[in-house]
A and B are shown apart, each in its own frame.
Chain A
C-alpha cells in the first residue's frame, strides 16, 4: 500500500502567520510521530501519538506548537504565530505499533519569511 504522505510538500509563509501541516500515516499504523529537521541537522522529536492514549508532547519547543490526531488516522501539526526559526523540514513517521520500525514521509519544507 501507500507510504506515509504529507501535505503540503512546501509552504512559504510570513512571520506571525499560522500554518497547518498534514500527515496521512500508513493504514493500520497505530503510532504516529512528528519530527523537525533544521538545515544540516539531525531530526528533533516533537510529539508522538499511540492509539487513543494521551500523546507524548515532550518535544514540542513552545506553546505555539500543537498537534492533533483523530483515532488512528490523519494528524495535523499547527504552528501559531510562526517565527523565522521555525523554518525547517517537518517530518511525520508512523509505525505499526509502539516500538516497531518508523516509516517516514517525504516531509513538509516550511520557510518563514
Chain B
C-alpha cells in the first residue's frame, strides 16, 4: 500500500517558471512532512519541512502548501533555475520525524 502518492513523475519548466509538485497521503497520523532534493549520485538532502499546524511555509524560493482536510501538500519553486534540476521527494512520518515514508519522486528539469 503506497501511503504517499506523488505527482507528476517528471516535469520540465522554463527558467523563471514555478514548478509545482503534489503529494497526497492516507495516514492521518502523519505529523511531519519534509521535502528532499536529490542530485544524481548523491543522497537526498532536506529542502524544507512542514508540520500540520500551519498551512504554508516559505524558505527562500521554496514554499510548501499544506491542506490537512484534503490530506495533500505541495512544493512550489519560485523563479526556478537550471541548478534546481534534480529529483524531488516528498515524505511523511509520525512522531515528528521518525522513519520516513517517501513518495516515488519527481524528476524536475529547468531549461534555459
Contacts and interface: CB of A to CB of B under 8 A. Distances in A.
Interface of A: 4, 33, 35, 40-45, 48, 56, 58-59, 91, 93, 95, 98-107
15 contacts: A4-B43, A41-B105, A43-B91, A44-B102, A45-B99, A91-B43, A91-B44, A98-B98, A99-B32, A99-B95, A100-B97, A104-B36, A104-B45, A106-B43, A107-B43
Given A91-B44, A104-B45, A107-B43, A43 B100 contact: yes
A105 B6 contact: no
Contacts of A41: 104-105
Given A91-B43, A99-B98, 4 more contacts: A41-B104, A43-B91, A103-B46, A104-B36
B72 to A, nearest CB: 17
Nearest to B105: A42
Interface string B33-58: 01010000111111001000000000
A98 B105 contact: no
Contacts of A4: 43
B30 interface: no
A48 B102 CA distance: 15
